[in-house]
């Protein structure tokens, strides 16, 4: 959000819009959405999602020079004040600076928008354990990296371990951060008479839930460090004080990791009850190694190791996690409902316990026109193949059913979603089977329709369970 003074010296080609109407906090401010032409991969997805059709794809030769000048000016503009935006709202969240940018992923990748959104939501408090897979490759193609930092030089912390132990790797982050925070609190309490009980109380009473809370916690920590000065007995507190600001641990990976190779560990850490958040970017195949079938591959899709079409139902990893009852579980698809996707990430973050968010991610391995990746996501939801839902255990305390199904009853024929209509839409991974073995495709399609209808009935039944007897008594 920029004041007119910030705009002084802008190139003539620099465009901005009035932000006053968008938010009460932004009277007299301007906002800018600036594309870095030099880093654009030409996927065209931004032009397709822009609600006002304000973005176009001019030839690079025309756009490069003016847009690079615009970008260089844009980079000097101040970041918006995080305490004034509501990161759970699409409109607000898109004003926050992404701390994940210009990855080497395929043009139009379906995974990267979720990661970008996560960095906007959490800023520099984010700590990521990344499973091996596409996200560790485009996320860590060293010596460059798309993970970046804010104007204060702070950014998310990121590391990649092995394909088979990423969940445990992330749990380790959580356990050590919690232990360090506990130790810092012990040191703080022991030093109360020296640095003042006010600072101790300021940290202890701060829930660190909102951006304003976090900003206040950072100020308190700065005051604690200043109060420690160079006193030798307070040196340990000074060294540990940064851990008093809570961090958010997110464990990221693909379906090959989550559904198959890392599943034992994933199940284990979700069952630990610890405050770990998991984002599974479900491309329904092992994307990074060329599209091998995983337990997330849907019935009838052709993939490596399933050249005749997968003949088993897709594993319902969300349903399995829901059975614990105390895990926040959700299924999202940005191309179908972006508001739901972003609100879900914020809700998962806010939940005080483990969370699993499964995000539908279109992929070049699906054999689609990547410029239409978000349309294919919508088809997956419209035909009922992918559900949008949230299972929030907090609802149980109020006697409410934890499961909310966001997607509507299937309305698109499954056949149309899989193989398209009149040569439009559809995905080659399904079309291939329809072309090479029509009889088998028809058989699998009938089974897939049955899977979808059965799953819809199951989720409806789950969402209808009466939890009123479980309402926690009022304190």
Ligand X SMILES: Cc1ncc(C[n+]2csc(CCOP(=O)(O)OP(=O)(O)O)c2C)c(N)n1
Site of interaction with ligand X (CB under 6 A): 132-135, 163-164, 253-257, 261, 281, 283, 286-289, 294
Least Å from the CB of residue 256 to ligand X: 3
Least separation in angstroms between residue 45's CB and ligand X is 18
For ligand X, the closer of residues 291 and 402 by Cβ is: 291
Q: Which is nearer to ligand X, 100 or 286 (CB)?
A: 286
Distances (CA, A) of 446 to 6, 346, 414, 419, 443: 60, 37, 9, 14, 5
Smallest gap from residue 259 Cβ to ligand X (A) = 8
| Residue 338 falls in which region: left (phi positive, over 0), alpha (psi -120 to 50) or beta | alpha
Please give the torsion angle defined by the CA atoms of residues 94, 95, 98 and 103, in that order, rounded to the nearest 10 degrees.
60
What is the Cα–Cα distance from 17 to 20, expressed in whole angstroms?
9
Cβ at position 266, least distance to ligand X in Å: 11
Residue 131 CB, nearest distance to ligand X (Å)? 6
Q: Which residues contact 98 (CB under 8 A, 6 or more apart)?
A: 116, 119, 120
Pairing of strands 403-405, 389-391: antiparallel
Nearer to ligand X (CB atom), residue 77 or residue 167: 167
φ/ψ of residue 31, rounded to 5: -130, 155
**Token couple for 452:** 């979808």
Q: Is residue 261 within 8 Å of residue 164, measured between CB atoms?
A: yes
Least separation in angstroms between residue 172's CB and ligand X is 18
Q: Which of residues 288 and 407 has its CB atom nearest to ligand X in the complex?
A: 288
Secondary element (H or E) of residue 286: strand 285-286
Contact 463, 319 (CB under 8 A): no
Q: Which is nearer to ligand X, 195 or 303 (CB)?
A: 303
Indicate left, alpha or beta for 390 from its phi (over 0: left) and psi (-120 to 50: alpha). Answer: beta
Minimum distance from residue 232 beta carbon to ligand X (Å)? 48
φ/ψ of residue 25, rounded to 5: -75, -5
Q: Rounded to the nearest 5°, which phi and psi values hold at 212?
A: -65, -40
Closest separation between CB of residue 374 and ligand X, Å?
Answer: 18
Residue among 139 and 384 whose Cβ is closer to ligand X: 139
The residue number with the shortest CB distance to ligand X is: 254
Given the complex with ligand X, which of 130 and 220 has the nearer CB atom? 130
CB of 178 to ligand X, least distance (A): 27
**For ligand X, the closer CB: 200 or 252:** 252
| Least separation in angstroms between CB 428 and ligand X | 17
Reported as type and span, the H/E element at residue 25 is none
Contact 376, 353 (CB under 8 A): no
Nearer to ligand X by Cβ, of 163 and 391: the residue is 163
Cβ-proximal residues to 323 (8 Å cutoff; 6+ apart), any chain:
none
Inter-residue contact 382 to 281 (CB < 8 Å): no
**Cβ distance to ligand X smaller for residue 74 or 163:** 163
Query: Quick one: which of 43, 34, 126 has its CA closest to 77?
Result: 34
């Amino acid at each position: 959000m920029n004041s007119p003074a910030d705009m002084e010296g802008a190139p003539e080609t620099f465009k901005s819009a009035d932000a006053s109407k968008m938010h009460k906090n932004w009277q007299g401010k301007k906002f800018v959405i600036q594309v870095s032409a030099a880093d654009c991969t030409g996927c065209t997805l931004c032009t397709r999602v822009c609600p006002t059709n304000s973005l176009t794809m001019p030839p690079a030769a025309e756009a490069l020079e003016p847009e690079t000048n615009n970008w260089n000016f844009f980079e000097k503009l101040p970041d918006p004040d995080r305490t004034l935006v509501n990161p759970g709202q699409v409109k607000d969240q898109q004003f926050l600076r992404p701390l994940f940018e210009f990855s080497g992923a395929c043009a139009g990748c379906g995974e990267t928008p979720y990661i970008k959104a996560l960095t906007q939501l959490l800023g520099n408090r984010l700590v990521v354990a990344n499973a091996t897979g596409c996200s560790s490759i485009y996320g860590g193609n060293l010596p460059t990296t798309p993970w970046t930092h804010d104007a204060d030089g702070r950014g998310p912390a990121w590391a990649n371990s092995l394909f088979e132990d990423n969940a445990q790797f992330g749990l380790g982050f959580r356990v050590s951060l919690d232990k360090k925070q506990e130790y810092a609190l012990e040191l703080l309490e022991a030093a109360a008479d020296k640095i003042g009980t006010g600072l101790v109380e300021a940290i202890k009473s701060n829930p660190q839930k909102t951006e304003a809370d976090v900003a206040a916690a950072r100020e308190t920590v700065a005051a604690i460090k200043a109060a420690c000065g160079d006193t030798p007995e307070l040196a340990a507190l000074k060294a540990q004080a940064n851990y008093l600001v809570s961090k958010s641990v997110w464990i990221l990976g693909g379906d090959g990791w989550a559904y198959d190779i890392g599943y034992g560990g994933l199940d284990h850490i979700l069952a630990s009850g610890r405050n770990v958040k998991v984002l599974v970017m479900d491309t329904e195949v092992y994307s990074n190694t060329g599209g091998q079938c995983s337990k997330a591959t849907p019935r009838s899709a052709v993939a490596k190791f399933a050249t005749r079409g997968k003949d088993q139902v897709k594993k319902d990893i969300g349903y399995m996690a829901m059975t614990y009852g105390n895990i926040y579980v959700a299924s999202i698809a940005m191309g179908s409902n972006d508001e739901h996707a972003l609100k879900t990430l914020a809700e998962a973050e806010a939940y005080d316990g483990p969370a699993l968010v499964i995000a539908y991610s279109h992929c070049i391995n699906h054999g689609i026109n990547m410029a239409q990746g978000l349309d294919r996501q919508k088809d997956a939801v419209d035909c009922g193949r992918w559900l949008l839902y949230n299972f929030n255990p907090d609802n149980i305390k109020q006697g409410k059913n934890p499961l909310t199904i966001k997607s509507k009853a299937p309305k698109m024929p499954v056949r149309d979603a899989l193989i398209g209509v009149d040569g439009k839409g559809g995905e080659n991974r399904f079309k291939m089977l329809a072309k090479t073995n029509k009889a088998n495709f028809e058989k699998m399609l009938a089974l897939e329709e049955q899977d979808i209808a059965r799953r819809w009935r199951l989720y409806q039944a789950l969402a209808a369970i009466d939890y009123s007897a479980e309402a926690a008594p009022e304190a």
